[in-house]
Homo-oligomer: A and B are copies of this chain.
Amino acid sequence: MQRVKAVICYDGTHFSGWQVQPGKRTVQQEMERALTRIHKGEHTPVVSSGRTDSSVHALGQVIHFDTTLAVPEDRWPKALNQLLAPDVQVMETSFVDSSFHARFDAVEKTYRYRVHLTKERDIFRRHYVYFYPYPVRVEDMKQAAPYLTGTHDFSSFCSSRTDVTDMVRTVHEITVEEDGDELHFTFRGSGFLYNMVRIMAGTLLEVGKGLRRPEDMPAVVEAKNRESAGNTAPGHALYLVEVRYE
CA–CA, A9 and B123, complex, Å: 8
The size class of the interface chain A forms with chain B is 10 to 19
Q: Is the CB of B86 within 8 A of A11?
A: no
Q: Is the CB of B124 within 8 A of A11?
A: yes
Residue of B nearest to A89 (CB): B123
Chain B residues with CB under 8 Å of A10's CB are 123
A 1-46 contacts with B by CB, 8 A: 9-11
CA–CA, A54 and B11, complex, Å: 22
Contact of A88 among B9, B11, B123 (CB under 8 A): B123
Give 7 closest A-B pairs by Cβ, nearest first.
A89-B123, A11-B123, A86-B126, A11-B124, A87-B123, A9-B123, A86-B123
**Would you list 14 pairs from A and B whose C-beta atoms are within 8 A, ordered by A residue?**
A9-B123, A10-B123, A11-B123, A11-B124, A11-B126, A57-B124, A86-B123, A86-B126, A87-B123, A87-B126, A88-B123, A89-B121, A91-B120, A124-B128
